[in-house]
Chains A and B, each alone.
Chain A
Amino acid sequence: MTHVLIVGAGPAGIRAAETLVAAGLCPTVVDEGSRAGGQIYRRPPEGFARPPRTLYGSEADKATRLHDVFDGLVRDRRIAYHPETSVLGLHDGLAQVLGPAGVTSLPYDHLIIATGATDRLAPVPGWQVAGVYSLGAAQIALKAQGVALGRRLVLAGSGPLLTLVAAQLLDAGAEVAAVLDTAPWHAQLWGGMRMALARPFVTLRGLRLRARLGSHYRAGVTLTAIESDGTGPNAIIWRDARGRVQRTECDTVALGWHLRAETVLADLAGARFAWSDTWAQWLPETDETGRAGAGLYLAGDGMSLRGADGAEIGGRLAARACLADLGYPTDTVAQRHDLRRARRMHRFAKGVAKAFPWPSHMVRALPDDTVLCRCEGITASELRAALHMSGCEANRAKSLSRVGMGRCQGRYCQAAGSEVMAAACGAHPAQMGRLRAQPPTRPVTLAALAARTDTQD
């Protein structure tokens, strides 16, 4: 009996499940969300009233189609669906999962990982206070809960999400005091041209959104500090493109620099990784269809940061690769067509990465007393001081400084940690190595592990 396990029910996981079901398989789908859709097409709880057009804008039809496809698979019992469930670890053909009923094991012989991405964060002095969020958090709060995370928000960082979240918040009636983009105009121009060549309409749509921000939007800024009082931020200090110091009053700051592929499970499953200068992060190595090893396939932003449309294509590609490896006849025409589309998505994504780069100079120049690790309040100077003991290797520096060892498991500090280390070592971040993934991938009590109930279905 073939057991295909799909982790993640965003656009990639949904299309992968649909493709496998169409071939006659009954895959298992594990997802952390309570309703399928992923973060990009996240659905509010039952009983919320805003229509898809309000929630997803121009992408409303895509979102609705994906939700309908997945709900149909669940309704017709074509998949085994485990919502609100996290994969804690992978070992010997078993996925240890934590769900509403506790910890259990799910067997698999083929694994499709579609775990998406999180915001990529860079520290800003003062970012450890309550009221500083990720950009994704600001979007989730609005989309899934109908709230703004404060009365007067500043959005800062770079990437498509910066413009999108700002426009969505303004539309919803939130007060957005400023939208501060660290990407300089020249980078946006060069990257934007590549984006426009690959996907002119999508690029135009982004420009239209940007235009709606008007004078709220500033490019080429440097973030200096977040000022706060006892209850949270009260201003952000930044320098404009000409170097003039500016101060914008606010009570909430949302930060994010494009995306960080969520690769922990791919790592635990044995994928190999390579540093990408384009995306300034470690990414798993796969073939064009997402095949990362025997019985292991990756799809969506967790494989390569191609966005939601790229994730739908990637889900189908990975599922067809899986089917081919299982000896099923596959639609080679559709596969070739999707590969062509995936290449176009990839060219666009590289343009996005060029247009909205990781702010390495800003991170390298962080003052000593800046908190790098939000989880445990560890400063840049503590990491720098650990280097003479650890040497320039990320895992050793993590052991000695604890940057990367907190409860987020390095998801929000690894990029900055590597950059700060590389600056101190006079080296490139790739030479610092990659933090190894450590199970469990989410917090779990020993009581839950001890009470585990293993099923073999």
Chain B
Amino acid sequence: MRGNDPRTGRVQRLAELGRANLAFEFDGRAVSGLAGDTVLTAVLATFPDLRAAEFGPERRAGFCLMGACQDCWLWQEDGPRVRACSTPLRTGMRLRSTPPDGWPGALQ
């Protein structure tokens, strides 16, 4: 299915499949989402989660999807962090599950 890898992805596309593909990168891997996807939808259509939790051993994949819980922040290779549930996917985004080199306070 387009814009999706149902073997590894968490979310399952049920409708609105007739949209254009948008290429982006996640952790250096070239993948694609669909026009109108949020960053959260696009990443989770191919990957099982977004990033590691800061305060525990588990992974994180968003929680409220309405900008209230702040669970779904991601890094970019360049530029500010994005709240995945409320940020539209744009072509060429280079998203990361971990802070890029040089990010203030990044773990070495």
Is there contact, CB below 8 Å, between B68 and A147?
no
A136–B66 CB distance below 8 A: yes
Chain B contacts for A173, CB-based, 8 A = 14
Whether the Cβ atoms of B16 and A134 lie closer than 8 Å is no
Q: Which residues of chain A have C-beta atoms less than 8 A from B67's C-beta?
A: 32, 86, 442
Which residues of chain A come closer than 8 Å to B37, judged between CB atoms?
Answer: 145
Are B55 and A130 in contact (CB-based, < 8 A)? no
B11 within 8 A of A: yes
Chain B positions within 8 Å of A147 at CB level: 11-14, 41, 45
Say yes or no: is B36 at the interface (Cβ < 8 Å to chain A). yes
How many B residues touch A, CB cutoff 8 Å?
Answer: 42
Interface bits A383-412 vs B (CB < 8 Å: 1, else 0):
000000000000000000000000110011
Instruction: Give the distance to chain A from B22, nearest Cβ to Cβ, in Å.
Output: 12
Q: Which of B19, B38, B64 touches A118 (beta carbons < 8 Å)? A: B64
Contacts A128-B56, A408-B68 known; A49 to B38 CB distance under 8 Å?
no
Residue of A nearest to B58 (CB): A129
In the complex, are the beta carbons of A172 and B14 less than 8 A apart?
yes
Residues of chain B within 8 A of A132, CB atoms compared: 63
Contact A376 B55 (CB under 8 A): yes
B10: chain A residues at CB < 8 Å are: 130-131, 149-150, 232, 251-252
Question: Cβ of B94 < 8 Å from any Cβ of A?
Answer: no
* Size of the chain A interface, CB-CB below 8 angstroms: 57
Residue B106 is within 8 A (CB to CB) of chain A in the complex: no
Cβ-defined partner of B63 (8 Å) among A50, A230, A374: A374
Among B17, B38, B60, B63, the most chain A Cβ lie within 10 Å of the Cβ of: B63
Distance to closest chain B CB from A380 (angstroms): 15
List A residues 125-160 near B (Cβ within 8 Å). 128-134, 136-137, 140-142, 145-151
A119 touches B55 (CB 8 A): no
Q: Within 8 Å of chain B (Cβ to Cβ): is A206?
A: no
Point out the residue from A230, A231, A378, A408 that lies within 8 Å of B69, measured CB to CB: A408
- Does A371 belong to the interface (CB within 8 Å)? yes
What is the chain B residue whose CB lies nearest that of A135?
B64
In contact, B16 and A130 (Cβ under 8 angstroms): no
Q: Name B36-77 residues within 8 Å CB distance of A.
A: 36-38, 41, 44-45, 48-50, 53-56, 58-71, 73
A134 touching B15, Cβ below 8 Å: no
Q: Is A359 an interface residue (CB 8 A)?
A: no
Q: Which residues of A contact B88 (CB under 8 A)?
A: 34, 45
Does A222 reach chain B (CB closer than 8 Å)?
A: no
Q: How many A-B pairs with Cβ below 8 Å? A: 143
CB atoms of B12 and A174 under 8 A apart: yes
Which residues of A are found within 8 Å of B21, using beta-carbon distances? Answer: none
Task: Please indicate the chain B residues that have their CB under 8 angstroms from the CB of A45 in the complex.
Answer: 36, 88
Cβ contacts under 8 Å, A47 to chain B: 19, 35-36
Contact of A445 with B by CB under 8 A: yes
Beta-carbon nearest neighbor of A408 in chain B? B69
Give A374 to B58 CA distance when docked, in angstroms. Answer: 11
CB interface residues, A 148-201, toward B, < 8 Å:
148-151, 172-174
A45 to B45, CA, bound (A): 17
Q: Which of A90-145 contact B (CB under 8 A)?
A: 118-119, 128-134, 136-137, 140-142, 145
Contact A46 B36 (CB under 8 A): yes
**Interface presence of B18 (CB below 8 A):** yes
CB atoms of B38 and A145 under 8 A apart: yes
A358 to B108, CA, bound (A): 45
Pull 27 A–B residue pairs with CB atoms less than 8 Å apart, ordered by A.
Answer: A45-B36, A49-B16, A49-B18, A50-B16, A84-B86, A119-B64, A128-B58, A130-B60, A134-B64, A134-B69, A136-B64, A137-B63, A140-B65, A140-B66, A141-B41, A145-B37, A147-B45, A149-B11, A149-B44, A150-B12, A173-B14, A231-B59, A232-B49, A376-B55, A377-B56, A407-B70, A408-B68
Instruction: Give chain A's interface residues, CB within 8 Å of chain B.
Output: 32, 34, 39, 44-50, 54, 84, 86, 118-119, 128-134, 136-137, 140-142, 145-151, 172-174, 228, 230-232, 251-252, 262, 371, 374-378, 407-408, 411-412, 442-443, 445
Nearest 7 interchain pairs by C-beta: A146-B16, A146-B15, A130-B61, A377-B56, A137-B65, A407-B70, A377-B55
